[in-house]
């Protein structure tokens, strides 16, 4: 019996909560209608309101005027002159900031540029340091410039070993003295250098070995250092048994008696 009464009480409570919710929803709708009625009345009757709402209409007009002033102040702040240092608002004709004393008309020093970097391989302009692309032509500066191919070596001049005259490429005989140019052994550059006649570096005339000045043009003769012929390697003989160095005239090794 007690359980039945408790269930009935819970049922009534749920019904009451539902009804209270519906009442609250209707009250919200009524407030919205009141607001709409007030707005319509204000728009249409604010110039000549009834005496019983005249005070409320006047208060609405005052508050709307304040909102307009506040919005105008926001626009003035957003467009007004501000201190570059502290951000305070300054008058348009002010020279110094009233908050921190900063003078915005002070000449600003130009920021120092970083030391110069590479030179653009395409346009040749100097660049700033730590840049990846040329600021003038857009060339990628990180791509290493490919080395230019080396120019082919000029062919060595063919000089007659007898008279010292320079010959044409491919000549077989000297055009001056008739010497066979193929008889010069290319495998013996040291000997050819030793036997090369002394010639004037200006006019090419052959000089005597002790000449100081050219007898033809007066040019001073510059001698190259005299090449030293290569030394002949000395063959060292050793005892085949004890490896002692053999001296001249020895027939038997004095250390082990082996015939050397």
Higher pLDDT, 239 or 195: 239
The 3-class secondary structure across 37-75, one letter per residue, is HHHHHHHHHCCCCCHHHHHHHHHHHHHHHHHHHHHHHHH
Tokens of 123: 């346009």
pTM for the structure as a whole: 0.30
Q: What is the pLDDT of residue 232?
A: 57
- Give the strand pairing for 126-128 and 158-159: unpaired
Q: What is the pLDDT of residue 152?
A: 66
Q: What is the pLDDT of residue 72?
A: 92
C-alpha–C-alpha distance, residues 53 and 42, integer Å: 10
- With bands split at pLDDT 50, 70 and 90, how would you rate the model's confidence at 70? very high
| pLDDT above 80: residue 6 | no
Average pLDDT, the chain: 78
Tokens of 85: 């240092």
Q: Residue 192, Cβ neighbours under 10 Å: how many?
A: 15
C-alpha–C-alpha distance, residues 162 and 183, integer Å: 11
- Mean pLDDT value of segment 153-170: 77
Q: What is the pLDDT of residue 231?
A: 55
| Domain spans of the chain, in order of start | 2-82, 160-195, 198-229
C-alpha–C-alpha distance, residues 166 and 45, integer Å: 122
Query: Are the C-beta atoms of residues 127 and 119 closer than 8 Å to each other?
Result: yes
- Mean pLDDT value of segment 32-60: 90
| pLDDT above 50: residue 189 | no
DSSP-assigned beta bridge partners for residue 126: 119
Q: What is the pLDDT of residue 129?
A: 75
Higher pLDDT, 236 or 54: 54
Q: What is the pLDDT of residue 197?
A: 75
Longest CA–CA span in the chain (Å) reads: 157
- With bands split at pLDDT 50, 70 and 90, how would you rate the model's confidence at 150? low
DSSP conformational letter for 165:
-
- With bands split at pLDDT 50, 70 and 90, how would you rate the model's confidence at 190? very low
Q: How far is CA 83 from the centre of its chain?
A: 37
């Amino acid at each position: 019996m007690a359980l039945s009464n408790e269930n009935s009480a819970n049922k009534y409570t749920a019904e009451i909560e539902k009804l209270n919710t519906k009442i609250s929803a209707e009250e919200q709708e009524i407030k919205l209608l009141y607001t709409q009625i007030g707005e319509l009345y204000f728009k249409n009757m604010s110039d000549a309101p009834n005496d019983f709402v005249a005070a409320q209409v006047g208060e609405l007009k005052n508050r709307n005027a304040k909102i307009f002033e506040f919005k105008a102040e926001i626009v003035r702040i957003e467009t007004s002159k501000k201190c570059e240092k502290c951000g305070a608002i300054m008058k348009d004709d002010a020279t110094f900031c009233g908050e921190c004393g900063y003078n915005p008309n002070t000449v600003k020093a130009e920021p120092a540029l970083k030391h110069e970097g590479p030179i653009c391989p395409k346009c040749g302009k100097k660049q700033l340091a730590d840049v990846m692309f040329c600021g003038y032509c857009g060339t990628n500066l990180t791509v290493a410039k490919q080395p230019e191919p080396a120019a082919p070596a000029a062919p060595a001049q063919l000089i007659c070993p007898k008279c010292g005259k320079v010959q044409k490429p491919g000549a077989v005989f000297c055009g001056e003295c008739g010497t066979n140019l193929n008889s010069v052994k290319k495998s013996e550059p040291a000997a050819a250098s030793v036997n090369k006649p002394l010639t004037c570096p200006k006019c090419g005339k052959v000089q005597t070995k002790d000449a100081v000045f050219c007898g033809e043009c007066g040019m001073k003769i510059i001698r190259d250092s005299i090449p030293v012929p290569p030394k002949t390697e000395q063959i060292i003989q050793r005892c085949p048994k004890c490896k002692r160095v053999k001296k001249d005239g020895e027939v038997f090794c004095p250390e082990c008696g082996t015939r050397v």
